Structure 1
Amino acid sequence: MYKPCRVLLLTPDDGLVRAVSDTGLEPWALRRTGSGAACGIPPERTLTTDDPARTLRDLVADAGAGSGIDYVVSGGDAEPAVLDALRNLDPGPARTASWLPDRAELRRILGREPAPGPADPDGDEPEPVCLVDTVSVSGMHLLLGIAWPERRPPLGESEQAGVRETVRRLLDLIGHEFGGMRTEVALTPAGPSPVKVTGTPLQVASLDPGTER
């Protein structure tokens, strides 16, 4: 019987819940008693507790017994004790996010010239840049949102799809598998061109029984 991959969200905002669901994963929530309902997650998939950090540690200890949770995702605004418990789950994501390519490295990886910058000698306007936020779960890149530049006509669906595919391809090329990223993408006449990637406070850890702890 098919069982969807379950992702426990410690900071279940609307964008994160939607991104998990759109990728075919099953969002669950962990929240403190009395903190209000989790955004877009039904009660039967919400773990309510007086001690979220302890509950998270209990889930890790029970991973081999089939707790059902495969991954844990959290933003940087979670409770400090919960973040400490999350950091102790899996050292792999922290190592993966420690290397981020600079602009020269991006050009080498992508095999292309940089997008025009703001100091264009011909006095032309720089190419508009959009900001693409993602979180990666075991190599699956979940799109959280795109901040499109102001003062330009709206992009068509095919152009938007090109931006999304460019970012996912870049994250694959640099070997990013876990955690949050923000990618700046220049909208050039030749197509979308990444110019910068930076890490975000989103953290991801695996509860797979075989994961080293």
Structure 2
Amino acid sequence: MTSHPVPPVRLLLVFPGAPLVRKAVRAGLDVRVVLDREHDVGALPLPEDGVVHVDRAQTPETARIVRKLIAELGATHVLDGEGFPLRVPVPDEQPEGDLFGRELVPGWSREPQESEAHQLVVTTLTVDGMHRVVGITERVEQGSSWTCVFPATLEESATGRVRAVVTSMLDLVGHEFGPAQTRIELTGAEPRVVRSQPCFSIDRISDLIEAATGFDIATEFFRALSGAVLQPPAPRWFAAARLSRLPRPADGNQVSSVLVEGVSPDVVRARLAEAELPPS
């Protein structure tokens, strides 16, 4: 039997931060970057010909250059700086269009109903169509703030059902590679997908997973693209974040956050409560 060589991974990152580029380069990937013309390239570990500058405000120009780079470089994977994948086909004559798919299962903006206030967020990494659950986080909304605790405390049977629902959904929508954050309700007989976004993190969840396990989501994803076996992490203790919407009339809402760590869910919740107390 004749073996065929596996084509090398060529990663194109569009408007990434320098830390993300460094993680991809350290993983041994062949990386090219599209940056805004005003972005300083001095901190990037790439040669000059590894960076292409565009006017970020001009979506059609960016789409044209991205399409050209995919053809010329044979880019196999394209992500933006938050992990969102490129829409296929690449938008052309859409001045207001977004190059990247922001939703796998769209949610909607409104105040949550009582049954929706307590949710789970399932973090996955997908490589070559194979999905790995790397964390399940509890998410509880309380008015204009919400709390996330990792890892969520679930019965083994419930954990299995949640994993199955999320990976089946990812198969159904054709998610072939990249991270995803999927919000789940457990109010009915079976878990229900509320929303799924293909990105490295929401609500500081990647920070919680790293604090509790040492697992950096972007780093491990790039290593998996390079051929490493993706091993989901085992939590060593707990991490939690409280996030609050701060109204800013000029440009919408700003979110503030507090992150704590501890040996149990009760400990991290108590530390979050202490962090909110006014100074005596």
Flag whether TM exceeds 0.5 (same fold): no
**Which has the greater radius of gyration?**
2
